[in-house]
Structure 1
Amino acid sequence: MLCLSGSLRRQSGNTALLRAAAQLAPPSLHFSLHDGLASLPPFNPDEEMAALPTSAAALRHAVGRSDALLIACPEYAHGVPGAFKNLLDWLVGSLEFPGKPVVLWNASARDSHHAQDALREILVTMSACLVEPASITVPLPGSGCDVATILGDPVQPMRIRAALDALAGVLAATPR
């Protein structure tokens, strides 16, 4: 499973959520956190047609190797952060992405549904297979939230495990 954080912050709650999920996952799910968001150049269709930048090629390769994508993305100004939209733009023309199972997690404790709604629209347009039973909101306490905080919470680990179990069930039932 390829984990994609939509945040560039060093102390990102979204990234911490993905790291916590890796520790809580059932044995059938193997996690890899993509750490190349900041290295992707601005999407340019001309470059896509000529020779993919190394970072975009690495992203596509990682997507192709994964059974599913787990996305945790913040909301900025009621939308998807530009860097993460850029990542998705590099996947639009790829052969690796269409039909890929995708799980969306929202780590905001506030009413921040705009980015999630926009991501759903973008991903459906890109031919993703959204795994709704595993797509959840895990309300985290703002910036600076770390893996230990998430794992030490009395409720969040159960919510995360239930979502990961749902994903594992969907993947087990999907012919490859």
Structure 2
Amino acid sequence: MRATTRRVLCLSGSLRRVSSNTAALEAARRLAAPGLELVGYSGLGVLPLFNPDDDVEPLPAAVLALREAVGRADALLIACPEYAHGVPGAFKNLLDWLVGSLEFPGKPVLLLNSAARGSYHAQEALDEILRTMSAQLLTTHPCKVSLPGAGCTAEQVLASADRCAELRAALDNLADIPPRL
């Protein structure tokens, strides 16, 4: 019997060039066990502002690319910062473009919380948004990865045995997701 690879789309809620959330996702990609293919999404900054009037065929190219990437994924892995006790506007915009899509409902989603000081406002808001959008959240709370803060790199994350153990534990939640047909 051939092993099945599960494709996981990694979504960072940060636009920063050097982002701890993006670093956590990149480190997770490098630590992923065989059978898990983690793929990064880099189009957050090019999505147009959501307008329901534009959520019609033909979709803007960046929106179409996002929806196709979500459609090809068996699950989503999200690492999102907290800005002013909320979800960053750019990431909320991404989610708004997925609300009316056929690709998102029922999609398994795993949340990472990479804030060393326990960011929780945005995580609670993100949980509510995703449930409203009919996501299948894989855990009741975001998986904690205690990074040092803004500006760390994937190499710094991977240099810590504790961070690697946290990421591997988080990735274990993706082991049993069903592959897309």
TM range (shorter): over 0.9
Matched, 1:69 2:76: yes
Q: What is the deviation of 1:48?
A: 0.5
Distance 2:169 2:140 in 1: 9
Matched, 1:86 2:101: no
Aligned residue among 11, 15, 22 for 1:15: 22
Distance 1:61 1:165 in 2: 25
| Structure 1: runs of 5 or more not aligned | none
CA deviation string 1:122-156 (max 9, x = no partner): 00000000000794011111121111111111201
Matched, 1:112 2:119: yes
SS at match of 1:30: strand
Number of residue pairs the alignment of both structures matches: 174
TM-score by length of 2: 0.92
CA deviation string 1:60-119 (max 9, x = no partner): 000000000000000000000000000000000000000000000011011310000000
Aligned residue among 150, 168, 171 for 2:177: 171
Alignment of 1:72-151 (within 5 A): 72-132=79-139, 135-151=142-158
Instruction: Decide which moves more: 89-98 or 138-147.
Output: 138-147
Structure 1: 4+ residue segments shifted above 4 A: none
Matched, 1:26 2:26: no
Q: What is the deviation of 1:165?
A: 1.8
For residues 150 and 134 of structure 1, do their structure 2 counterparts lie closer, same or farther at Cα, with a shift above 3 Å needed?
Answer: farther
Distance 1:160 1:22 in 2: 10
Percent identity between the two aligned chains: 60
Distance 1:82 1:149 in 2: 27
Q: Is the 8 A contact 1:133 1:163 kept in 2?
A: no
SS at match of 1:167: coil
Structure number with the higher helix fraction is 1
TM-score by length of 1: 0.94
Instruction: Report the RMSD for the aligned CA atoms in angstroms.
Output: 1.5
The one-letter amino acid of 1:105's match is: L
The one-letter amino acid of 2:58's match is: A
Q: What is the deviation of 1:175?
A: 8.5
